[in-house]
């Protein structure tokens, strides 16, 4: 603490004291992170002063609060990096398919995820949105992701039932749920079967630009114990894309279901899966810079080139 800088030989000749800023009083509390000093919480005044003991205590408490915020921010940054590394990057062995996805959490981590994998006969693609935001939603999203990875099989509805059975106790304990789209695509024909639990944000975009929405077929995971899901089917023809996105993408427009149409227009002319989700990512980045988006945004796209 420096009660009067003009009377302290260390500071009396500094321009912050002699110049127009006219600093007289200074008190600082070092800020530590990981055992290293990373900054200082400073109090300054243009008049000489002393801090009473309770004021010194308050300055120390404020410094401790800043250190906690720095630590939490770092922890969230590390968790976000881990979450990003768990997203799929390998392309499938099936040469006729092009896959891409993006995930942009509203905070450092989020409750959205997408995933894909393959078996001897085709591809599995999943997107899900756990209720909530931040670290709590991210923990549950990781559990849901693991469930879908563990139970991949030829029957999309059976996969979902197995995931529900595995996670029901956890979802009950946390009083939460997860919407999802799980799809299995035949690697030879492009035909697909899917189960949708309260998601309803999947669009089939034909090569000529026409599109159709895939309807939701059941409840989200965790809503009703022992629930079952019916699977519906469709077909990807050469040049077609299957795009699924989370409701945060609607915030790129007005946030309502009326936003689906302009979102489809945004990606309609994209050449491939990467450009499709890339356009959504660019729009999300622009919205974030304006402060007009507050939800996680994820999207995954499959393009079929068979016979093209």
3-class SS of residue 102: strand
The residues near 108 (Cβ < 8 Å, ≥ 6 apart) are 73, 76, 77, 79, 80
- pTM value is 0.75
Kindly state the tokens that stand for 149.
């990875």
Give the chain's domains with CATH numbers: 5-80 (no CATH), 90-304 (3.60.40.10)
Q: Produce one character per residue of 52-87: b if its CB has 16 or more CB atoms within 10 Å, e if not.
A: eeeeeeebeeebeebbeebeeeeebeebbeebeeeb
Q: How far apart are CA 100 and CA 280, in angstroms?
A: 12
Q: Are 92 and 182 in contact (CB under 8 A)?
A: no
Find tokens 């030829």 and name the residue. 154
Q: Are 76 and 108 in contact (CB under 8 A)?
A: yes
pLDDT tens over the chain, length 308 residues: 899 999 999 988 899 888 888 899 999 999 887 788 888 999 999 999 999 999 999 999 998 888 887 776 665 666 566 666 667 777 777 889 999 999 988 766 778 899 998 888 889 999 999 987 777 788 888 889 989 988 888 889 999 999 999 998 988 888 889 999 999 999 999 999 999 999 999 999 999 999 999 998 899 998 888 888 999 999 999 999 999 999 989 988 887 888 999 999 999 999 999 999 999 999 998 888 887 677 789 999 999 998 55
Q: Phi and psi of 6, rounded to 5°? A: -70, -20
Find tokens 């999802």 and name the residue. 180
Q: HSE (CB half, 13 Å, CA atoms) of 296? A: 28
């Amino acid at each position: 603490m420096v009660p009067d800088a003009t009377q302290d030989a260390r500071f009396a000749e500094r321009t912050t004291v002699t110049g127009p800023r006219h600093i007289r009083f200074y008190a600082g509390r070092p800020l530590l992170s990981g055992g290293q000093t990373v900054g200082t919480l400073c109090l300054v005044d243009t008049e000489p002063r002393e801090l009473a003991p309770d004021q010194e205590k308050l300055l120390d408490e404020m410094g401790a609060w800043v250190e906690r915020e720095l630590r939490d921010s770092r922890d969230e940054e590390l968790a976000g990096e881990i979450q990003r590394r768990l997203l799929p990057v390998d392309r499938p062995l099936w040469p006729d398919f092009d896959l891409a996805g993006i995930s942009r959490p509203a905070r450092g981590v989020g409750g959205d995820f997408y995933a894909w994998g393959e078996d001897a006969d085709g591809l599995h693609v999943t997107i899900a949105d756990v209720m909530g935001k931040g670290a709590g939603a991210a923990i549950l999203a990781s559990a849901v992701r693991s469930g879908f990875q563990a139970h991949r099989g030829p029957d999309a509805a059976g996969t979902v039932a197995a995931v529900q059975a595995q996670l029901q106790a956890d979802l009950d304990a946390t009083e939460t749920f997860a919407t999802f789209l799980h799809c299995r695509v035949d690697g030879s024909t492009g035909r697909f079967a899917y189960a949708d639990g309260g998601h309803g944000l999947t669009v089939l975009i034909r090569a000529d630009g026409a599109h159709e929405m895939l309807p939701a077929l059941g409840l989200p995971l965790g809503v009703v114990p022992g629930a079952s899901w019916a699977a519906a089917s469709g077909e990807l023809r050469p040049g077609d894309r299957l795009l699924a996105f989370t409701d945060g993408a609607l915030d790129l427009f007005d946030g309502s279901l009326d936003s689906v149409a302009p979102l489809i227009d945004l990606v309609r002319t994209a050449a491939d899966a990467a450009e499709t989700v890339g356009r959504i990512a660019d729009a999300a980045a622009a919205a974030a810079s304006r402060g007009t988006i507050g939800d996680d945004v994820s999207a995954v796209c499959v393009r079929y080139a068979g016979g093209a």
